[in-house]
Chains A and B, each alone.
Chain A
Amino acid sequence: MSAAIHPSLGQVAATLALVVIAALISAWQRADLERDIGIATIRSFIQLTAIGFVIKLILDENRLVFVVALIAAMVLFGAFTARRRARRVPNAFWPLLVALAVAGISTLALVVALGVFKAQARYLVPVGGMVIGNAMTAAAVALNRLGDDVAGAAPEIEATLALGATTGQAMRPIIRRSLRSGMIPLIDSTKTTGLIFFPGTMVGMLLAGAAPIDAVRLQLILLYVLLGSVSLAALTAVLLAHRSFFTPAHQLRELPHPAV
């Protein structure tokens, strides 16, 4: 790899100009997002700086227990964050926690077993972070859809239950749709990658001066890894969460939030 780039804090500060554009657009069109843009900007700065120090520490130490601890923390925070987006799903935290853990652990174990990456902190930390981040988004989208669909299709679900269907049978079409919602964004962006957008890893490597062919191959590895992990996360979350809408006697529970 050739000369790394070293952005200064001043350069980071200069890009705030684009954040100001976002805030101005929001204010002008009354999108009411200025506060969120501000929070997002401040949080991203603090969180990324903090995680940068943590990663530096972990890379310097290069001990697997630290890697495991960091990934566990990411799974935990990921589950908390995703839960807020899946408000209509009762007790969504546990399915999300398991989904992110399953996606993270199995993907990392597989890429190490296949010899794609070595079991070292400098590989596992960034790949784990990316896997869990994408898994979180997919699981949250899938559960969000699940909650909306159960609320919207309650009469159809109950009509099916009334014919002697089990919870699983009555939920099959909704599970399918939720899974698709969770998986489609990544599949679509994988389809168009390189045509209408450059994925982050490739951009990062090119900026850092890597050879394009290396950047491309690493990006492909990561995209394929993500396809698998995102699917696992969405599937696990939906399969674990859908039962919380039902009693053990295959009865649809009254929904805690009225349909909006």
Chain B
Amino acid sequence: MLFALEHVSCARAGRSVLADVSVDLADGTTALVGPSGAGKSTLLRLLNRLADADAGVVRYRGRDVRDYDVLALRREVALVPQLPALLPTTVEENVGYGPALCGHGADVAAALELAGLDRAFAPRRAQQLSVGEQQRVMLARALALGPRVLLLDEPTAALDAQARDAVERTLLSLRARLSAALIIVTHDMAQAGRLADRLVILEHGRVREPGEALTA
């Protein structure tokens, strides 16, 4: 199993956000679906240890995530946050930043291409791009790490319908071309259906079992 959450609870700012969540996330492409505030981002951050659960265990390939070297885990399980947060420099330097941290070079052109950006973007100032383009630079930045798992937090939430469709096409092509597992957070059930093999539904900090009725 790629990830297994066992009785995970997590509070933010003193309020319980995830309550006794147990769920398995298999290899392949999984969509984590739920309304805004359900705790999707909070759950995603547990997978690459941007935060730790208050109770319970998160396992990655059978091992407690806390038993991995945290920096190596984050390079292997790369997270693309919901909002772009780029360094005030060029696209190229942003994409090369992660590999450079551990002394590697990066194939910037290949990462840009996978993320659906022309290589002409490389010398441009990252923060002067549109939100959609910045989002793709964020994706390229994660892809440059050569991750085994890609965690995408609401990759289209900040985009209009046209840009959303384009990002969905990019993600589908990534699915086909990369061996990496994808975990895609979205509040859009239809999008989840278009992109993923499997759905995990999160509501009010709990995973809804398959077949369970939708609560209001």
Q: Which chain A residues have a beta carbon within 8 Å of chain B's beta carbons? A: 155-156, 158-166, 169, 173, 247, 249-252, 254, 258
B60 vs chain A, min Cβ distance (A): 14
Are A162 and B74 closer than 8 Å at their CB atoms? yes
> Which chain B residues in 129-166 approach chain A with CB under 8 Å?
138, 141-142, 145
Contact between chains at A251 and B49 (CB < 8 Å): yes
Please give 11 more A-B residue pairs, beta carbons under 8 A apart, in addition to A156-B87, A164-B74.
Answer: A158-B50, A160-B87, A160-B97, A162-B74, A163-B75, A164-B75, A164-B98, A164-B102, A165-B71, A249-B70, A252-B50
Report B39-81 CB contacts with A as 1/0, cut-off 8 Å.
Answer: 0000000001111100000000000001000111011001101
| Residue from A163, A173, A252, A258 in contact with B74 in the complex, judged by beta carbons closer than 8 Å | A163
Is B145's CB under 8 angstroms from A163's CB?
A: yes
Least CB distance, A71 to chain B, in whole angstroms: 41
- Which among B12, B74, B138 is the interface contact of A254 at CB below 8 angstroms? B12
Given A155-B85, A254-B13, decide whether A163 and B52 contact each other with a Cβ distance below 8 A: no
B101 and A159: CB pair below 8 A?
no
Complex-state Cα separation, A162 to B139, whole angstroms: 12
Residues of A within 8 Å of B72, CB to CB, are 164
- With A155-B81, A254-B12, A254-B13: A166-B138 Cβ-Cβ less than 8 Å: no
Q: Whole-angstrom distance from the CB of B66 to the nearest CB of chain A?
A: 8
Kindly identify which residue among A159, A252, A254, A258 contacts B81, using a CB–CB cutoff of 8 Å.
A159
Contacts of A161 in B (CB 8 A): 50, 74
A252 surroundings in chain B (CB, below 8 A) = 50
Q: Is B83 an interface residue (CB 8 A)?
A: yes
Residue of B13, B71, B86 touching A164 (CB-CB under 8 A): B71
Q: A155-B85, A158-B50, A250-B70 are in contact. Are A163 and B12 (CB under 8 A)?
A: no
With a cutoff of 8 Å between Cβ atoms, the chain B residues found around residue A165 in the complex are 71, 98, 101
Specify which chain B residues have a CB less than 8 angstroms from the CB of A164 in the assembled complex.
71-72, 74-75, 98, 101-102, 145
Question: Shortest beta-carbon distance, B103 to chain A, in Å?
Answer: 12
Residues of A within 8 A of B79 (CB): 162
A155–B83 CB distance below 8 A: yes
Please, which residues of chain B bring their CB within 8 A of the CB of A158?
A: 50, 81, 85
Closest to B77 in A: A162
0/1 per residue, B88-107, Cβ < 8 Å to A?
Answer: 00000000011001100000
Q: Taking beta carbons and an 8 Å cutoff, which residues of B are in contact with A?
A: 12-13, 48-52, 66, 70-72, 74-75, 78-79, 81, 83, 85-87, 97-98, 101-102, 138, 141-142, 145
Compute how far the CA of A169 lies from the CA of B100 in the bound complex, rounded to whole angstroms: 11
Considering the complex, give the chain A residue whose CB is closest to the CB of B48: A162
Residues of chain B with a CB closer than 8 A to A250's CB: 70-71
Contact B13 A156 (CB under 8 A): no
Question: In the complex, what residues of A have CB within 8 A of residue B141's CB?
Answer: 163
B127 to A: closest C-beta gap in Å: 11
Contact A163 B101 (CB under 8 A): yes
Known: A249-B70, A254-B12. A163 touches B142 (CB 8 A): yes
Residue of chain A at shortest CB distance from B75 = A164
Of B13, B70, B97, the contact of A163 (CB 8 Å cutoff): B97
Question: In the complex, A258 Cα to B12 Cα: how many Å?
Answer: 12
Please name 14 pairs of A and B residues whose Cβ atoms are closer than 8 Å in the assembled complex, sorted by A: A155-B85, A156-B85, A160-B87, A162-B48, A163-B74, A163-B75, A163-B101, A164-B74, A164-B102, A165-B71, A173-B87, A249-B49, A249-B66, A251-B51
The listed residue (A156, A162, A166, A258) touching B50 by CB distance below 8 A is: A162
Known: A249-B52, A251-B50, A254-B13. A166 touches B81 (CB 8 A): no
CB distance from B24 to the nearest CB of A (A): 23
Of A156, A169, A247, which is in contact with the most chain B CB atoms at under 10 Å from its CB? A156
Nearest residue (CB) in A for B66 is A249
Closest Cβ neighbor of B83 among chain A residues: A155
Q: Which residue of B lies closest to A250 (CB)?
A: B70
